[in-house]
Structures are given as structure tokens and as C-alpha cells.
Structure 1
Amino acid sequence: MEQAGLDVVFATVDNRSLDGFARRQLPTYNLGSTTAEVSADALAGNIYTVLSAAKACEASLIFLDAADAPLARDEYFLRHARKRGLRVFAPAAEGTLLMGWMELLPSPDAAGPLAAEPSEAPWETVFSIDLDDEGPTHWRRCHKCKLFFDKEEIIEEGYACPACGTLQRLRSDERLAITVDAGSFEEWNAQMPDSNPLDFPGYPEKLADQRDRSGLEEAVRTGRAAIAGLPVAIGIMESGFFMGSMGHVVGEKVAALIDRAVAESLPVVVFCASGGARMQEGLTSLMQMAKVSCAVERLSAARLPFITVLTDPTTGGVTASFAMQGDIILAEPRALIGFAGQRVIRDTIKQELPPGFQTAEFALEHGLIDAIVERSQLRRVLAQLLAIHAPADPSRIVTYHSVMDALEVGANAYGSVSVAPEARIVGERIRAEEAATGFLRKVPVVGELFGRSEASEEEAAAAARRELDRHARREARKSGVSADAAAGSAWESVQIARNVHRPTARRYIDGIVEGFIELHGDRAFADDGAILAGVGWISGHPVTVIAQEKGVNLADRVARNFGCPQPEGYRKSLRLMAEAQKFGRPILCLVDTQGAFCGTEAEERGQGNAIADNLVFMAGLTVPVVSVLLGEGGSGGALALAVANRVAMQEHAVYSVLSPEGFASILWKDRSRAPEAAEVMQMNADAVLAGGIIDAVISEGVGPAHENPEAAVEAVRDYVKESFKELADLSPEELVAQRQERFAKF
């Protein structure tokens, strides 16, 4: 190049050469420094970084170091370079007839708007769309890795950073454009009088500057919209305005949104994004937490659903008020969620924070939120949740299938709200992804999420080994029943109920419930995988489902504690029952457990209290409750989900005060007499029915359920549908009376 008379400048990263020629002491230009989020390759492959370097060096030619370099195949880069009069070259690929350098040109089919010239404008990472003296540009800076990208690139990635994959913080217009029906958004209270209760110096000027720089009015936008044709009052917080901090105007707008929703009988969805209280407003800012909480209570009293979606970041006073007050709390993947800031925690208690601390995944693991939903699926999930909570309307039938049909109506279902027509690209992607199976983020269910002691880990390992041994023994027996179990005996039922191939609750949910959305956590401590709970549809009617899940394979069974719930599991079920009662939804309980987990940690966290709370709450439920015992029904751990209006057992299920081994050990000091104990306890389905404990025995088909699972699921489905149909005409008072009389006779 020097021989051709070119002035050459070599690019470097961290002032280290990207090319061996730089050792010849030629001029260099440092592209930047690497970080945990940004590698040297990411810097060298970033369009904005390279174009900025070319501008700074007053270059007219860019030579890439390889024919397969990422920028060599990047249409955005080639289009931007051509717009700026830059010619791009790369070495000819090996194995071709060409030699030397080959000029790279954008595809003639490439079209669309290009970003404005990189400038020295004071870029702000907190703004979704940055501004300079010439007005809005199309460059966006990732708040995580700090690299700039053409906005088109980010949109085509589903509003994720092309370099580090971080979901980008959306403005309200972008959020509306990919969430609500086109043209359905009607803004409420667009402008409200500012407040400066402390007469804080410079605060009015700072507000004006924020509006000029961001193009936003305040840190929240509210109004009415529709999702799949379902009306909703919606609020979207703006992280690009004072980091979404909550001052008087924010609190007033959210409270006004809720009160108008009450007046118009609308559900409320709020997308939360906040750095906390607005410090310039002092205690007035703090009082907004209470103001909005009062409004949420009024919404709850009106029995209207409140759904919050936690986006990055949701912290401080918003987290400690309405963000965590939703009937259902969803979150986007990897969103920052917490009350106290990490820096505050480190500085205050000098504690090193664990990996993944204060992320959406951390919150899910600790039972604080219901679900993590991929951004591309939020519209679909919200539509289903709104439909499940929709009030009865004689003029319109809302079912799972009608919602799915509404979501498939085409491009007009996606927003053209204010600006962001580019969001249609994301809308098309959403429709394609909705065809895939499942729409909730797959988060592994952790067994004991609360930090197990070494002893309990050994117990779990021993339990896993026992399960493996049991599995091997049963695999060797085609019948799945030990030789000492007489045909038709209670011990035979015990053996069949424990068969590792027996369908678990998940199989029955899949076969009975349409559009099932799993909801996690006790909102206090953890999410117990032994309790699988959520909402869905049965015969076109919304229902709440609470099930004890043993797991479908060894790893899953260990993670779910072999279906033995912890206190958190029963508190999760209690929370879901309370929500079902609030919105008048029937409850289906599927029972399959050896019993509640008995261990030191469970006792410390109130296992008995948790079961007792379930029993008394179920006794007073004003909605229909149907319980079906699918396999083992052990002790109070099973009864905690069986105080129902209708109780049935599959023909090979068992129900007892404790295990036959435990019975034989306690009364006869001989566990080997377990088969005899099973007969004495009359724990098989026919004996339990004869004792009047249950209402029906459900056939499993020609053989046990593990031999013909489809027939077993169909029989349970028929029983559940018929039971809910029989209970539908009873008033709330009659349901309570019938349930209590049912148990009073024992």
C-alpha cells in the first residue's frame, strides 16, 4: 500500500496491533478498549466504531484483513461506507482466480434508510433514540456493551444488541408498536403540570433539557389500547427520561390510569422501567409509592386484573410498590430487578454479590415473579391473560381459540403507534415465532432453590440413587408390580401408583387444559418445582390448575424433589387459589405426592403452617374446586390440595394417612409388613370410595395408566368437565356449604 503512494493508518484495540505490519512503526488509530462485554473482534467489527475511525483519520479507503471478515459480509456497513464516499476492499478469497485486493460493494437489492453521519454529539446511553443538532439520528447505543449500531440492525435482531445480545430498552412508541393492535392506542393525560416541591435549584431547567434531548414528555405514558381486540388500560414507563424515575407526575399519571380503568371496567397492564424515586422531589416522590398502591387496592377491590411487566431496569420505589403488586408479574429475560442498588448494597454491608444477582432469572428462582417471557412472545401471552380475565360479555365469546385467531389476523394487528413503523419487522418475526411450540421462556426448575446444606445435598443424592435402583428393578418387570402384590390388592395399587412410567400431572395438564400458562413462585422466598400451577382453559372456560408434579425423568424428579412439596409450594398454591377466587375461576387440583417434604429446612420455614393455611382457605373458597388423585396421595401433603367439592381417584391411585412402610414401621416395628399395612389402611381406590372419602373412581383404561396414557388422560378429562358442569349452577354460598358438609360427615 505504501508503494502505491497511500498513507496507511492501522487500527488497534487497547493500543495493541490488530495486524503484524503495525510493528513497522506506521501510524495507528486505537478503536477502543476491550471489556467483559466487548471483545477486540466486536470492536473491530462494529460499524459505528470503524466509520468513526475512518472519519477521524480522514480516510477514503478501508482495507479489511480477511475476505471472510464480519464487515465484509455486512450490508449495513457497505451501504454506510458507500454513502460516505468510502471504498472498502478485502483480500481475494483463497481458491478463487482473483489475486490481490477486491472491492466490496453493497448488494443492489439493499435498500432502506441509512443512519445519519456519526458526529461528536453528546450521546446518552439512557436514551433509546439519541439526538444531535440535526435532529433524530438512526444510531443507537447498547447500554450494556456501549457500542453503537444502526437502528435497523437492532430492529432486525428483535431490539437486541447485535454484539452482546442484550435486549435494548424500548421507548413507549416502540413498545406499543410491537404490543397493541394497530391504531388502537388512545393516550390519556399526555401532559400534566410539573412539580418542584423542594424548589430544587435547576430542576425545571433539567426537566426541559430532558424533554428536548429525549423527545419525551415524562417518565411514563398512559392510555387505552387493545391487544388481539381485547381492551386494556396500559402504561409504559420511559427509561430514557430521568431513567424512569418516579416523581409527582409519574405517580399521578399511573394512579389516574388505574382510576380511569376502574371507572371503565378495564384490566390494567403496566410496563415498568425505573431507576427509583426522583430525588429532586424529596418526600413527595416517596409518597407516590403510597398513592399508586392505594390506586392498586381500588383496582383490586373492583376485581379487575393488574398485570405488570418488569423490564430493564426496574428498581427502587417502583419495585417496592406497583411493580410487585400485580396479580400476575411477568419479566423480560435478564432484566435488572431489585430494590436497593448493587453499589448501595456493596458500600453498606461490604458483601460480595452472587452471580446473576438482581436479574429476572434471580427473581424467578426466588419466587418473586410469575414468569419470564421472551419479548417476541409478550403480545401473545398478554392477550391470553387478558382473555382469561375478561368479564362475561353476551355480545362476544372469548375463548383460547378466539384469541389465537385474533393474533393471526395479519400485519394490522401490530402497531403503527406514533412513530416506529420499523416495528412491523419485529411484528412479522413475532408472528413467525408464535407458530413454534410454547411461548414462555424455558427456565430450568431448580430443586431446593434456597441453598441446601451439605447434609441435605447428600440426602438428595441418596434419594436419586434409590430412585435409580427402583427404576432398574421396575424396568426388569414388565408388569411393574412386585411378586408379593396379589392382583387387585391395595399393595398392587401402591406398586402401580409408584411406577416411574406412570403419567405425571404435566401429561394430564397437556391433555386437559388448553393454552396453559405456568405461574411461578410464592412471592416471598422460592419457586417450588413440586407444585406446577397456572391458568388455562377447559371446555372454553378459564380455570386455575394446581398440581403436584413428580417429574418425567430422573433429573426432573430430583429437581422437583420427587413431588414432595416444600412450604413454598403450598404458599404458591394458596396464592393461586386466592387469585382464582378473586376473579371467579374454578380450580382443578391434581394430587400425586408421597407427602409433604419432611426436613429441617421445611420445618424451619413452617411446613405445617403452610399446609394448615391451604386447608382453611380451601374450606371457604367460593369457586368450584375439583381434585383428582393421579397416583400417590400421601398424608396432609395430599389433603392440602384435596379439600374440594368433588374428589376422585384413578383406579390405581392410593390415598392414605402415611405410606404403608411408615405405617408398618410405626405400629409393628417391621417395614417388611408394608403389603399387609396397605390392606389394613384400605388405601386403594375402591376401598376409599366405599368409605365415602371420594366421589368416584376413574378408569385408567384396559391396563394401568402407564400402559395407555391417552385413555387415562381422556377419562380424567371427561370427569373434570362433567364435575365442573355439575357445580356451575351452585352459588358461592352453596359451594362453601356443600364442601364443608362433605367433610363434616367424617
Structure 2
Amino acid sequence: MKQRKQNYITLSADGEVVPQGSAVEDAAPAQESADVAYRLSRMVEEAAGSPVAPNALDAADMSEYTAVAPGEAQTAARAERAARVAEPAAKPVALVMARSKSAKRLLQAVADAGFCACAAYTQDRRNEGYLKAAQRAVCLGEKYSDALFCNGHAVLEAAAECEAAVVLLSDEALPLAEVDSFLARAAARGVRVFRAMNPDAPALGWILCSTDKPAADDGTWRTCQHCGLSFDEASLASGHYVCPSCGGYFRMSSAERIDDTLDADSFVEWNRRVPETDPLNFPGYDDKLAAQREKTGLEEAVRTGEGRIAGLRVAVGIMESRFFMGSMGSVVGEKLSRMVERATDERLPVVVFTASGGARMQEGLVSLMQMAKVSCALSRHAQAGLPYLSVLTDPTTGGVTASFAMQGDVILAEPRALIGFAGQRVIKDTIKQELPEGFQTAEFALEHGLIDAIVERADMRATLAHLLAIHLATVDRGSCGPGGSAILVDYRKVRDNLEHGTDTYNTVTYGMLEPEGGLPFGDAAARGSRRAQRLLSGLAGRFERKASGPAMPKRLEKALSRGGFDAEEGASLEVNGVVMGGDANVAADPGNRAWQSVQLARNVHRPTARAYIDAFVDGFIELHGDRAFGDDGAVVAGVGWIGGRAVTVIAQEKGADLKERIRRNFGCPQPEGYRKSLRLMRQAEKFGRPVVCLVDTQGAFCGMEAEERGQGNAIADNLLAMAGLRVPVVSVLLGEGGSGGALALALADRVAMQEHAVYSVLSPEGFASILWKDRTRAPEAAAVMKMSAAEACQMGIVDAVLPEGPAPAHENPEAAAEQVRAYVVDVLAELCEQSIEEVLEARYERFAKF
């Protein structure tokens, strides 16, 4: 928002208006300070300026002009004077956007200055006292909210209704003084907007608010279905079609999605027209199709083609919920299949935005067959080693959910999107079951391990760009397409392209237009600053799961109440009443290095796996869920870059504080945690991407629920997969390496341990309890088992011991992380130079020797 100084009135020290060009002003040029403002009286004079008579040329063009005889003119003049006596001349109207305690005083000051003071109100607060001070009132809506009072559409409509010449912003409406789209529209309608220098003292003056941005006033407004407020198209486009007031998501058309996601002017549509079929000869179906085309301007419920995301060529399909609710008929299936087949031939990645109510009933079984048809095409695409990213938008249900929507290598979803197989109405009608609040939402799907991440719309383009770059970094460079092979297979180049390179149509068109904002979300400038900061810092940690994990078992609560937790025994980590793993005295037995390492590995201040990921994995994107049951917080998995190399990272995470430790089950994975890791390993194998595992667990969780879901099976599947995984695997033990729960991520080509990490078949407490029936002999058990890193290396169990720096890792985490990073970078460089057959043979021999 810019303030045009030439429109200001300069006030002298005593509050009097100083005429432009006066000696006072010439002597001391006005500055943009409290001394430069409009007084209410001056605003009235300008607003009530007498109309100018038309000049001769204008009058000559008045074909309807009729001359009035002198006598008639005198009679009319006398009647006009009489009318003015009976009813004073209309005053200019000032719409006062205020409702605080000072509103009454402000309305009175506005009226005293010569305005017709018009107050804004809502129906639920129509009896508030300040309205009595107004000469006129206008209703903004049914229910009061701060967002309503600073909604541009509501204020402009109110100004039009009361024929306001001036809008005075105060209190909740003040954010509109910074909204370019609102100011441009007001100026286009001849309405001047002012903000109070001091709302509590309106006599001090008012600042004229204006903008240099053009008015995008094409009369198009869209109403948010969540909060009921309306916004102009330009403002919504600049904000990715997210409601500036409540944060609700507008459903986007394919054209809007293209403009918001793909590089400007890069989209080329494929197979725009595909002949329609009517397999059932369904009555009126052809007429309904024709009506849908006329209403939406679309050919069908999906658009396909190619485009670029931050310079990267990609095949893209975007479903249209406006066309038959995005239902999947034969043409939808045909267009998607053709797109995937062409992408396979041209070695392009595929991105599909889903939005559908399911199969198209009017086409019967033929519609059902589209699920199989598209799945076959995607299977060939996958066999070619090409990535498919699925983005679920609201709504994604029915046959689309049961096929290509859930077949992506990575499945992303927009917040609060409706996602499910059987719709709520179908469930109620079929089995009479009432569904709970929040059922079949993106958040529900994430918590139950069905999708990889929820991505806010503002971050979607950057997320897709980074994911595509990571997937393509290890495949044939020809898949990037002409001009793309040298651009996007590097994290920093992707980031730089997103920040300074190719841009979307919406960014180019509306990038300088601050979207209309509401109080709950702060001012637009702050939002823009935060967006830039996010881009500069990459995507690390963006998809941290927000939903809380499953309820903590009662046995775990009891163990915690006793002071500790042992994964194998489900008992307290205590020896003679002393809690182990905290700040215990590690020097109690200087000769027992193994027990010292146990104490240091359990130190609650020791950096967890996530700290190491944040330290040296660039652009890490966490991917959630086992795609079957749940998302285990004890296993953090995702993709990123280490030393410029695209990798898959799988880590066991204990949590940095007590609350997080409880949520992550103290780093003791459930079966779905191991199944998540297996899924990510298979994905890495598909794309030839090395796997880096960070191990830190007391052991796999052994509760009843874990056994019911096949804990042993899950670990066994991991070991079998890792034994034959056709990509290099590197594992580093950061803290505790307990039993098979640790080995499930440590069957690797290279295994290293940090200096104070431990590795054992069982916890020392469990070992002492089983063999000696005395848990207090845990220190002795640690020495017998040779748990320390140095002893494990001497036995050939691990390949290297990594120094933690001049002190244990919790005292110098940066130095410890650098040692781990350097080891991983060096080992990956060595392994990636070898053929995969050599790697597999060495892996086999490494474990066969034991």
C-alpha cells in the first residue's frame, strides 16, 4: 500500500490546515509523519464538491436534452428551493468501519464534521449502543466476526448499499488498509479509503490509503463454503485459492491448478477430445454430457498433458470435480491411460491430481473397468522405473480411491480433503453406521498410514519439484526430457529454480498483489516473508506428523511411573532402585567400558536420529505410513540429499523430550514401523537410490498388540528384503542397538557405530534377568556381552567406530553429526562405484562369515 503525498493535507502544530505551497510548507517540507493527514472537515469538502456543469461539447451530444422555457425554469427553481427547506441537501456518506468502545465517539465526530455517518453492524449485534450515534446503518451479515469486518467484499458491498463516498477504517477493519486488491477496487468505484492515525482520537487526522496496483474488478467473486465470506479471484489466485479468513480450501478447476502449479505457459494438453461412449444407452446420458460441457466449458472430467514444474518436464493429469463430480467414465480412464502410456514411452514422471466422486454410474461395468485399465498402464510405467506422484484433493472417493489415487510411489494430500472408498451416505444406507467426526479426511488417512504426507497448497509446487528431482537423480538422465537433464537433479539447483527461476502463471500475474487477509492469519507481508524463508530453508521437517499417535498402553504407563522402560521386558530400567539411562554416574566402574557406553547411549540429552537428519540431510521430506494400518512415530523415513547424493533415509527415533518420547513409543518400533521402512526400501530399489539407516532403539516393541499385528513377521520381511536389496545400504548405530529390532535396519553393506553406542542381543537388564535371575547384575551383563562399539568392531560385527568429538555426542552434537555425515558420504561414494552384483556378493559374504 502506498500513500500519495500530494493528496495529503498538512497540519500545523496547532492542528490547522496548511495550504499547499504556503510559506510554512516551503520552509519545512512535510514528512510522512503524524503531521500529514486529512482532517474530517477537509474530507467532507472534497466528498461534497459541487457537480460541474457539462461543457458545450458534452451538451451537444445529449440527444435526449430538452430545453426548459424561462417560466418553467423559474417555477422549477422555486420548487427546488422549497424542497431544500423541507429536506436539507444530502450529505456525503462516510461508512465508518468501527465497533469498539470508541465507535460512538468516532461516529459523532464524523457526523459533526458534516458527513452522514453510516455504521456497520451484524444481525446478531444489531442492538449495540454505538449504532444510536449513527445517522444510517448497513448490515454486513448475519453473524459477527473479526474476519467479516475486514473482508473486502463485505465492506465494498456495504459501501455500495449506503452510497458511501468515503470509507473510514478503524479497529478490526484496519488490515484492509494494506490490501492492494481492496484499495484498487475501491478506487475504481470512486470510493476513497482512509485509516485513522489514532482510532481513539479521530480529530488528529486520517491517512489516505491507495495503491499503484490495477483494479482486477471483473465482477467475479467467490464465496468460501467454510466461513461464508467472499473474495475476488485475483486475491484468491495469489493465495493459492485458500480462504484468507478461515484457511479453508476452495476447490480448484484444472485451469486454476495448472496456473498455480506448472511453470507459466508450459502446459500442452494431450488428447483433448476423446469420443464419448454410452455403453448402457442410459436415458438422457448424452444430453447430460452436452449440458455439462456447456456449463463448465470442459470436454470431460479430466485434463491431461505435459508441463514443467520448476523446469522439470512432467506428464500431468488433473481431475475436474465440476464435471459430473469428477466421476470416472470410459473417457476419463482412456485419457489417463493414454497419458501414462505416452509418459512411459517418453520416460516422463507422472503427477495426477485426483478429485472424484467415484465410478460413473451411467456407464455401469465399463466404468468399473477403468480402474483396471489405468492400473495396467501405471504398472508398465512403474516397471520402467519411472516415478508416479498422486495428489489427493477434495473429494477423492470410490473407484478412484480404490485404484490410481492410491497407487503412487508417493501419495500426498491437501489438508482436510475428503478421502475414502465408500462415501458416508453409502455407509449409512448400507450398514446403518454413523461415522465419527473427522472420519475419511486427509488427517485420518495420515494417522492410519494410508498416505505419505499432508502438504499445504502453498507448498505443493515446491514439494513436487523436490520429490521429482530426488526420484530422477538416480535414473536415466534422458527421462528429464529436452533441456531438463542438467537442471533439476540437484537439491540446491531445484531450490534456486523455485526461488529465482521459472514461475507459475499465478505468481507472474498476481505475485505483486497482496491477497486479502484476515486477522487470524496476520498481514500479507508477513505471510510473504514466511514463504520466502521456507523456500530458503528447504523442505526439512515440513511433513512432521501433527496427529498424536495411538493411545499409550497401560503397561507402558505403569513402566513409566516406575521410572523407565525396557522394550523386551516391559519393565523399569532400574538397578537397586536407581533409574538407568538418565544422568547416572557413568564413572561408577571405570573398567566397565560397556556399561559406561550403555549409560551414555541412554542419556536423555543424547542427540536423536532426527537431530542428525536435520544436521546433514538436505531437503528431507518425511514420508509416512505403511499403507495398511498406521504410521509408527518410532520410525522416521523419507528422502533427501546427503553430500549432493539422493538417498532414502530410515531412522529409529526416540524423541527429544518426554512428550515426544511417549508419542514415539521411546523409539521401540511397532510392526507398521518396520513395514513403513520396507516400503521405502522397495521404493529406493525401484529408483536405484541408496539407503541410509540410523539405528537407535532398545528393541522392537513386544506388546500384545504388536504380536497381534505380526511383529516377528515384519522384522523377518525387512531382513529378507535387505539381504537382496539391489541398492547400497549403509547403517549407523547412534545410540542403543537392541536385538532384532535394531538388526532390522542394520543388515547393510557397511555398518558403523558411534563411539558411545551399544549393540547387543538383549538389554543388559533382560540378559541378567534371563540367565542369572537378577536384574541388578545388568552392569556385569553388559561387560559379558561386549556391547561397546570398540568390542563390536574387534569382533567384526561393525566396520567402523565413529568418534563423537572431544566429549560424548550430547555435549558436542555438531562434531558428532559431522563424523556421521563424513562416514556416510565416503562409504556411499565407494559403494556406488561398484556394480550392484559386487555389492550383493560382498553383503552376502559379510554376514555369512558369522
Asked if TM exceeds 0.5, the reply is: yes
* Distance change >3 Å, CA 176–CA 86, structure 1 → 2: same
* Amino acid in structure 1 at the alignment position of 2:217: A
Q: Pick from 399, 403, 406: which aligns with 2:490? A: 399
1:104-143 matches, within 5 Å, as 107-116=209-218, 137-143=219-225
8 Å CA contact 2:415–2:442 kept in 1: the answer is yes
On the 8 A contact 2:314/2:351 being kept in 1, the answer is yes
In 2, Cα distance between equivalents of 1:531 and 1:52: 53
Residues 456-480 of structure 1, C-alpha deviation per residue, up to 9 Å, x if partnerless?
555556567999999x979996xx6
Aligned residue for 1:661, secondary structure, equals helix
Q: Deviations over 1:600-631 (max 9, x none)?
A: 11111111111111111111111111111111
CA distance in 2, matches of 1:229, 1:89: 44
Q: 2:725 aligns with which of 616, 621, 625?
A: 621
Q: Deviations over 1:198-243 (max 9, x none)?
A: 2333333332332333233322211111222222111122223222
- Counterpart of 1:663 (choices 757, 762, 767) is 767
The answer to whether 1:416 aligns with 2:500 is no
Question: Within 5 Å, which residues of 2 pair with 1:238-253?
Answer: 238-253=320-335
Q: Distance in 1 between matches of 2:319 and 2:616?
A: 38
Give 2:687's aligned residue. Answer: 583
Distance 1:174 1:258 in 2: 22
Q: Which residue of 1 aligns with 2:201?
A: 96
Looking at structure 2, the residues matched to 264 and 181 of structure 1 have their Cα atoms a distance apart, in angstroms, of 20
Greater mean deviation of Cα atoms: 401-410 or 44-53: 44-53
Counterpart of 2:389 in 1: which secondary structure? strand
5+ residue gaps, structure 1, are: 117-136
Query: CA–CA distance in 2 between the matches of 1:516 and 1:566?
Result: 23
Q: 1:435 and 2:517 equivalent?
A: no
Q: 2:470 aligns with which of 368, 377, 388?
A: 388
Q: 1:168 aligns with which of 250, 256, 264?
A: 250
Q: Which residue pairs with 1:277 in the alignment?
A: 359
1:527-676 → structure 2 map (5 Å cutoff)? 527-676=631-780
- Picking from 199, 210, 213, the partner of 2:292 is 210
**Do the aligned partners of residues 635 and 353 (structure 1) sit closer, same or farther apart at CA in structure 2, a change above 3 Å counting?**
same
Letter in 1 for 2:750: R
Deviations 1:387-433 (A, max 9, x none): 112124397372222222322334xx11339x993367599885564
Alignment of 1:43-62 (within 5 A): 46-48=151-153, 59-61=162-164
Q: Secondary structure at the match of 1:309?
A: strand
Distance 1:533 1:559 in 2: 16
- Alignment check: 8 A CA contact 2:340 2:378 kept: yes
Distance 1:20 1:424, change over 3 A: closer
The percentage of aligned residue pairs carrying the same residue is 58
Going from structure 1 to structure 2, the CA distance change for 1:95 and 1:202 (only over 3 Å counts) comes to: same
Which residue is equivalent to 1:288?
A: 370
The CA deviation string for residues 543-576 of structure 1, in whole angstroms up to 9 with x for no partner, is: 1111111122222222211111111110000001
More moved, 288-297 vs 221-230: 221-230
Provide the C-alpha distance between the structure 2 equivalents of 1:175 and 1:497, rounded to a whole number of angstroms: 49
CA displacement, residues 355-408 of structure 1 (integer Å, 9 cap, x when unaligned): 332222222111111112222222222112111121243973722222223223
Distance verdict in 2 for CA 1:178–1:460, change over 3 Å: farther
Distance 1:414 1:269 in 2: 18
**Per-residue Cα deviation, 1:44-82 (whole angstroms, up to 9, x for no partner):** 655545666777x7x534998984352874665565466
State the match for 1:131 in structure 2: none
Residue in structure 1 matching 2:315, options 217, 222, 233 = 233
1:17 aligns with 2:126: yes
* Greater displacement, 172-181 / 433-442: 433-442
Larger Rg: 2
Q: How do 1:323-472 and structure 2 match up within 5 A?
A: 323-390=405-472, 391-393=475-477, 396=486, 398-410=489-501, 413-416=502-505, 421-422=509-510, 433-436=534-537, 438=539, 441-444=542-545, 449-452=549-552, 454=554, 456-459=556-559
Q: Match of 2:421, as an amino acid?
A: F
Residue aligned with 2:500, SS: coil
Distance 1:323 1:180 in 2: 20
Tell whether the 8 Å contact from 1:660 to 1:677 is kept in structure 2 after alignment. Answer: yes
Name the CA shift for 1:77/1:302 in 2 (closer, same or farther; >3 Å): closer
- Aligned-partner Cα distance in 2 for 1:460–1:336: 38
| Structure 2 unaligned blocks of 5 or more | 1-86, 92-115, 479-484, 516-527, 566-570
SS at match of 2:759: strand
Determine the C-alpha separation between the residues in 1 that align with 2:89 and 2:591.
Answer: 95
Pair 1:12–1:206, CA change in 2 (3 A)? farther
CA distance change for structure 1 residues 43 and 444 in 2, over 3 Å: closer, same or farther? same
- TM-superposed CA distance for 1:643, in Å, is 0.9
Which letter maps to 2:201? T
Contact persistence 1:464–1:558 (CA under 8 A): no
Higher mean displacement: 69-78 or 557-566: 69-78
**TM-score normalised by length of structure 2:** 0.75
- The Cα shift of 1:90 comes to 10
Kept in 1, the 8 Å contact 2:695–2:731? The answer is yes
Query: Which shows bigger deviation, 648-657 or 723-732?
Result: 723-732
Deviation at 1:440, TM superposition (A): 5.6
Alignment of 1:674-693 (within 5 A): 674-693=778-797
CA separation of 1:644 and 1:345: change in aligned 2, threshold 3 A = same
Return the alpha-carbon distance in structure 2 between the equivalents of residues 483 and 342 of structure 1. Answer: 62
Cα distance in 2 between the residues matched to 1:79 and 1:113: 5
Give the alignment's TM-score, normalised by structure 1. 0.85
Q: Say whether the 8 Å CA contact 2:260–2:504 is kept in structure 1.
A: yes
Residues 301 and 327, structure 2, Cα contact 8 Å, conserved in 1: yes
Query: Is the 1:158–1:426 contact (alpha carbons within 8 Å) kept by the matching residues of 2?
Result: no
Counterpart in the other structure of 1:121: none
CA distance in 2, matches of 1:52, 1:153: 17
Matches within 5 A, 1:713-732: 713-732=817-836
The alpha-carbon distance between structure 1 residues 23 and 386, as it changes in their structure 2 partners (threshold 3 A), is same
Amino acid in the other structure paired with 2:126:
S
**What is the CA-CA distance between 1:487 and the residue it aligns to?**
4.1
**Is the Cα contact below 8 Å between 1:64 and 1:89 reproduced in 2?**
yes
SS of equivalent to 1:173: helix
Which shows bigger deviation, 205-214 or 554-563?
A: 205-214
Amino acid of the structure 2 residue aligned with 1:672:
T
Moved more, 381-390 or 319-328: 381-390
Q: Is the 8 A contact 1:655 1:683 kept in 2?
A: yes
CA 1:555–1:260: 2 relative to 1, 3 Å: same
Give the CA RMSD over aligned residues. Answer: 3.7
SS at match of 1:716: helix
Q: 1:405 to 1:108 in 2, by over 3 A?
A: closer
